[in-house]
């Protein structure tokens, strides 16, 4: 492998990989934020951990560089949202951007809202909305919905841990909700309205937490346009070595580290790292703690072997140079 090109002016440091929490404004898609980061940081490999609807704002965690190959490690964490439910209206998108399907003059009492929301806590099956990024036979549901096509959707298991009601007016109520990754808050509000018998739609939404990050750790989107990329990543970014601390780690002896870089499966002493927990269950690190690969530990006939599934580019260089 050739040495990485030096970073040019206004570019991210070469080989920088990790996470960048961003405060997404409403009115733009998550993909818009990704594209802006690609342009401003001069990085091709940029993704995100969990879509925010265009009308929603708040925490969007970007995945940069080689970290894009590890995205599954951080997906699925608990989320917290602040939102507003509007009663007496149902739309085809389950938020106020959609076409109104029904209206009602009935309004629930504060006590009815609280009691009904409490009954919706815990695990439940949720049918994703048609206007969503989920794919059906290779096409996004929202693309089908724009053509007036509705398809059967498989329910998804989600969990609502807490629903805190902050304020009530004649037509709306503000709330915070703690839920599992993959939960559609607008569907929660829609289902709440159906249970109340008056209908409801989501009027505003802001993500304030995406485990383990909060909005307090995020940078404003404008910083991508105005800050020096290297400085921005140094101050707001979470390097891959640190981001992978959510997983158990195994430090490798030099010979085993070289073998990992060469695509081999060396025998190791697992210590406290789990066995057979999946292809991204363990971080293999060198003696200094630098992450080399993600993989799995398996007990085989001749002992426990480290089986890498994602080997980072710098580990491959180390292996070939040994």
Helix (H, G, I), strand (E, B) or coil at 141: helix
Choosing from 53, 95, 191, 286, the catalytic residue is 53
- The per-residue DSSP string of 271-315 comes to TTSPSS--TTSEEEE-TT--EEEEEEEEEETTEEEEEEEEE-HHH
Q: Are 49 and 75 in contact (CB under 8 A)?
A: yes
C-alpha–C-alpha distance, residues 257 and 279, integer Å: 17
Q: Which residues contact 93 (CB under 8 A, 6 or more apart)?
A: 99, 129, 130, 131, 145, 186
53 is catalytic: yes
Which tokens belong to 289? 């703690």
Omega of the bond leading into 212 within 30 degrees of 0 (cis)? yes
Active site amino acids: 53
């Amino acid at each position: 492998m050739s040495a990485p090109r030096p970073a040019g002016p206004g570019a991210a440091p070469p080989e920088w990989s990790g996470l960048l929490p961003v405060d997404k404004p409403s009115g733009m898609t998550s993909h818009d934020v990704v594209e802006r980061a690609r342009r401003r940081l001069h990085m091709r490999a940029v993704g995100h951990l969990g879509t925010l609807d265009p009308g929603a704002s708040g925490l969007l965690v970007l995945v940069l560089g080689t970290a894009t190959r590890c995205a599954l490690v951080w997906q699925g964490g608990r989320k917290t949202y602040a939102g507003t439910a509007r009663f007496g209206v149902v739309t085809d998108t389950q938020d106020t951007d959609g076409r109104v399907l029904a209206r009602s003059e009935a309004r629930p009492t504060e006590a009815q809202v609280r009691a009904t929301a409490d009954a919706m806590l815990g695990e439940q099956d949720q049918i994703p909305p048609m206007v969503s990024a989920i794919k059906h036979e290779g096409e996004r549901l929202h693309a089908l919905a724009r053509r007036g096509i509705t398809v059967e959707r498989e329910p998804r298991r989600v969990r609502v841990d807490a629903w805190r009601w902050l304020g009530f007016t004649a037509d709306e109520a503000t709330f915070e909700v703690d839920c599992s990754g993959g939960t559609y808050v607008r569907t929660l509000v829609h289902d709440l309205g159906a249970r109340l018998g008056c209908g409801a739609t989501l009027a505003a939404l802001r993500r304030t937490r995406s485990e383990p990050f909060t909005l307090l750790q995020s940078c404003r989107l404008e910083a991508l346009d105005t800050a020096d990329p290297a400085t921005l990543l140094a101050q707001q970014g979470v390097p891959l070595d640190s981001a992978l601390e959510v997983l158990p780690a195994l430090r490798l002896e030099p010979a085993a580290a070289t073998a990992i870089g060469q695509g081999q499966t060396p025998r190791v002493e697992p210590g406290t790292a789990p066995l057979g927990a999946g292809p991204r269950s363990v971080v293999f690190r060198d003696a200094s703690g630098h992450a080399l690969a993600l993989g799995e530990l398996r007990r085989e006939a001749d002992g426990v072997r480290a089986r890498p599934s994602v080997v980072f580019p710098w580990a491959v260089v180390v292996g070939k140079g040994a």
